[in-house]
Amino acid sequence: MLQNLREKFTGWIAITILAVIGVTFVFVGGANFVFIGNNYAAKVDDIDIGIAQFENAYRDQIQQNPQLAQASPEIRGQVRASILEQLIQQRVIDNYIDEAGYQISDSQLTALIQGTPEFQVDGKFDMDTYLDLLATNGYEPTDFERAQRVTLRRSQLQYGIRGSAIMSPAAFRRYLNLAGEQRIVRLATIDPVIVASETAVTDEMIDAFYNDNPTMFQLPESADIEYVEIQRSQVIESVSVSEEELLDYYEYNKDRYTQDEQRQSSHILILAEYDEAAAEAQANDLLARINAGESFEDLAREFSADTFTAERGGDLGAMTRSQMMDGLDSAVFSMLESDVQGPIRTEFGFHVVRLDSIIEPGPLPLEQVRGELTTELQEQQAESLFRDLERSLSDALFDATELGALSAAVDVEILSVAGFTRQGGEPFGGEQEVIDAVFDEIVLSGEQLSEIVEINADRSAVFAVTNHYPATRQPLEDVRDVVRASLEAQQAEEIMAGKADQMIAMLDEGTEFTAAAEAIGATAEEPSIMARSAPDADQFVSVAVFTALKPAQDAPTTGSTRNGVGGYVVYSLEAVVPGSPEALPVEQRDAGKAQLTDQAGVGDFIAFVQALREDAEVIINDDVLAGQDLL
């Protein structure tokens, strides 16, 4: 039994694992391999991919695919190579994006975050929910938002290329023929519950499995840490700006806030959609009534088709000439204050306009820029204070052997975190610089403090390790039930596969389908028509049936597959009914064309990244790549 497990990890199961992982690593390319002892896994155009970053990605893959822990060193070596290749391609993409100047605005980032359902309450963004969810997952908002910017920039490039793809009519026609195809099939289902009674897992088998797989059931390496941290946000909160400082700064910078001449005006709009002559006559009548003394505001509320301004008596607000619509701009900027003119023709209709005031060109008033200037001053002063703090921290670190001296030097408390792993942890998330600092060998040993770690432009910290816990294995008794369930599932899988092979052999010998199903304890169904896109179909069965060879004239095609609920299905493909494109709904045809076009775009993007990869100067540290230990 256990020998079968190990054998399968060098056969089709190993291939399956690599195929699953390979979905992520779709790009390939050559590399320059060198034997060096440097502290990077690879270099891409002189930019390092750190060893810790690579090893963390590898551990993540092992955690997501625990069966890899049982794989041979050769298979794990291929997985490591695939992971490093993915990191190289991400670096190549990021280098291109940086060079091309891709930018994500604050408004784009805000729209993404506020539009995320997980951060919403009753359909609206909720800040407390956002912060709580980030904290629960070990993220600081700054780190999370920076990661989203990276993702958005990569998406800009990817979807820009994918969006330019086209689909040929011939390829679309082939899709329509296949999409409408139907297949007549008989199914027999082997229920895993039925075969559960045939499994037999002993304590000896559990012990053997646990002993034969020493890399499984590992608890990660971790450390208890203490640290002192300085944050720019805390410095900004302590900065106050006096009125005198603000006035001086405004005088010095007011040329930055000059404005063009603006004119405050009001209008009454009469639409000219159906009867232009009648609209012009109505505008003339309103002008006469205003000149006779009637209230412009009252007439605007009653007659103006511009409902937005009508509520305010026709007030258009203050606008520069370039902000006004064609036709209205030349009229308003030629009028004197309190003048009323009309009718003025624009693309919307006829306007009666009054000039309410003229705002001369020049600097904006202080009150309009007070908030912006105050923030600038605070940030300038905070920058200086923050750098002073960093210098104080650096000076204190020169001779310090414990965090107390640093805490006193920068007047911050010593904080602590328990159980910080090589995957990170609160409050630093997966910040690689922090992980590298904590798990530096000298720091990890407790012999000295870390160097100052610039977590980002606004945060710096120094770390000390108080306790180090090497990776350990969970005791057998803690995982006995997990091993038992795994072995029972494996046995059930083998039993069901054997019964499926037995039934197929009976069918090949001429046994009737229902009789063959009854002989192995399976449940047979009557022949049915299976559509390729049936929404309620078991996807495992659907894929098997629609990838099976078409049956010969007198001999159905038989086969077996796992189904989506843990059982096995034996199928007999009786006939294939060709598709009729015209029978497909228009919506389905359009959706298929969009999907195929996007697939072509994905191919274009892969080719683009491949070209970038081939042009990049890549150096791979073969010593790091060859490492196989699972810590």
CA atoms of 55 and 76, how far apart (whole Å): 13
Q: Say what the pLDDT of residue 351 is.
A: 95
- 365-393 average pLDDT score: 83
27-39 pLDDT per residue, tens? 333 333 333 345 7
Q: Say what the pLDDT of residue 583 is.
A: 63
Rg of the chain in Å (alpha carbons): 36
Mean pLDDT for the chain overall: 84
Q: Say what the pLDDT of residue 32 is.
A: 34
CB 401 within 8 A of CB 462: no
Q: Say what the pLDDT of residue 69 is.
A: 64
CA atoms of 68 and 9, how far apart (whole Å): 9
The single-letter DSSP state of residue 220 is P
CA atoms of 454 and 460, how far apart (whole Å): 4
pLDDT-derived band at 304, boundaries 50, 70, 90 = very high
For the record, the structure tokens of 467 come out as: 């306790």
Q: Is the peptide bond before 73 cis (omega within 30 degrees of 0)?
A: no
| 3-state secondary structure at position 260 | coil
CA atoms of 543 and 571, how far apart (whole Å): 12
| DSSP-derived secondary structure for 443-510 | HHTTSSPPPPEEEETTEEEEEEEEEEE--EEPPHHHHHHHHHHHHHHHHHHHHHHHHHHHHHHHHHTT
Inter-CA distances, 337 with 299, 333, 358, Å: 20, 10, 7
- 554-579 average pLDDT score: 92
pLDDT-derived band at 277, boundaries 50, 70, 90 = very high
pLDDT-derived band at 174, boundaries 50, 70, 90 = confident
Q: Say what the pLDDT of residue 388 is.
A: 86
CB 267 within 8 A of CB 352: yes
409-448 pLDDT per residue, tens? 888 999 999 999 988 888 888 888 899 999 999 999 988 9
57-91 pLDDT per residue, tens? 888 887 777 667 667 778 888 888 999 999 999 99
CA atoms of 494 and 517, how far apart (whole Å): 17
Rounded to 10 degrees, the C-alpha dihedral 398/402/403/407 comes to: -70
Q: Say what the pLDDT of residue 344 is.
A: 93
- 485-489 average pLDDT score: 91
- 290 φ, ψ (degrees, to nearest 5): -65, -45
List beta partners, residue 597: none
Identify the burial level of 293 via C-beta atoms within 10 angstroms of its C-beta, where 0-12 means exposed, 13-18 middle and 19 or more buried. exposed
Q: Say what the pLDDT of residue 30 is.
A: 35
Rounded to 10 degrees, the C-alpha dihedral 121/124/125/129 comes to: -10
pLDDT-derived band at 178, boundaries 50, 70, 90 = confident
The pTM of the full predicted model, rounded to 2 decimals, is 0.45
120-161 pLDDT per residue, tens? 888 888 888 888 888 777 777 888 888 888 888 888 888 888
Identify the burial level of 337 via C-beta atoms within 10 angstroms of its C-beta, where 0-12 means exposed, 13-18 middle and 19 or more buried. exposed
